[in-house]
Structure 1
Amino acid sequence: MPLLLGLLLALAGCALPARQAPSAPTPVPTPTPTPPPDANLRELLERQDRLRQQGQAEIAREIARLGEAAGSPAANPAATLELAIALGQQRDAAAQARALNLLETLARSPAAEAQPYQPLARLLAGLLAALQADQRRIDELQDKQAQQLREYQRKFDQLNEKLEALKAIERSLPTRPAPATVKGTPP
């Protein structure tokens, strides 16, 4: 019996581990749908699209209205962004510089209200700065071409004066008599 008991104990150590109950299948993560854009930003972009189709006089009136509503960028970031967009529509370099200043101020604002608008403000500031740099290059090229045109016009006028002087000299020369040809000799 002690032998049998020892054998049973030895076999018990070699027993198979108890079966674990199957665990529930791991759920497959479903992609979360991206939330729709912020309603304020969507409304802002729609107003900007309407503003883009307006004339300069309507844009100027809108800028005056927005200038009163905007206040400081930290206090009303949506109105500040809208004002900057309207100013950016102007063809005036001073208005575009003001728009860039507003966008940069909004992008650096520590106010919690400005946080949702800061990525768009940084994007627009970068685009407006690039647009201004391109405009400066175009203005410099136009100035250079205007200078070249004036120089070419000056040279043209000088050459024209020389040509007229040569014509005057030619007209003042006495006419030479035609050489006499002898009959029978070829000319």
Structure 2
Amino acid sequence: MEYVFTLKYQLPDENQAHEQVVEHLFEAGCDDATIGVGQPGRIALAFRREAPDAWSAIYTALRDVKQAIASARLVEAGPDFVGLTDVAELAGVTRQNMRKLMLAHASRFPLPVHEGNPSVWHLADVLAWLTNRGDYAISADLIDMAKAAKQVNLAKEAREIEPRFNRQLTSLVS
């Protein structure tokens, strides 16, 4: 099965020669990624990776990037963080329709990761909610990849929590 996802990284100062970074990535097995180097100190890899499941696809890509650029720091895995417009596009409806759904089902609609203008959700949460409604044909591969990307991003953030706070917060945030 082919899985489509993106990994974004921050590069250390010593890895600013993009041609060399691209070469290392290719040698490490990232030849199935389109590499973007438009922002200084950052690199984005848009993968189309063959794997038995979404988790294997994203895990092997993370491993390959780490092998190529050991000091690169993961910024974000995607598809994960989305606004209503993104979800509407993936679900095949208008943004206005998504907004109406969100407002009509406010107590059951997934909680945003960030509430504001714009609000941001984990794609996996919204796709699961839409799928449970039964009205939307969402690709199982997309749902699996969104779940895998969400887990990577949550793990990345969780490693930064001080253990003492983690124990104290666990019971309060559920």
TM-score under structure 2 normalisation? 0.29
Greater share of strand: 2
Taking structure 1 as the reference length, what is the TM-score of the superposition?
0.27
Indicate the structure (1 or 2) with the bigger Cα radius of gyration: 1
Q: Does 1 or 2 have the higher relative contact order (CA < 8 Å, sep 6+)?
A: 2
Structure with greater helix share of residues: 1
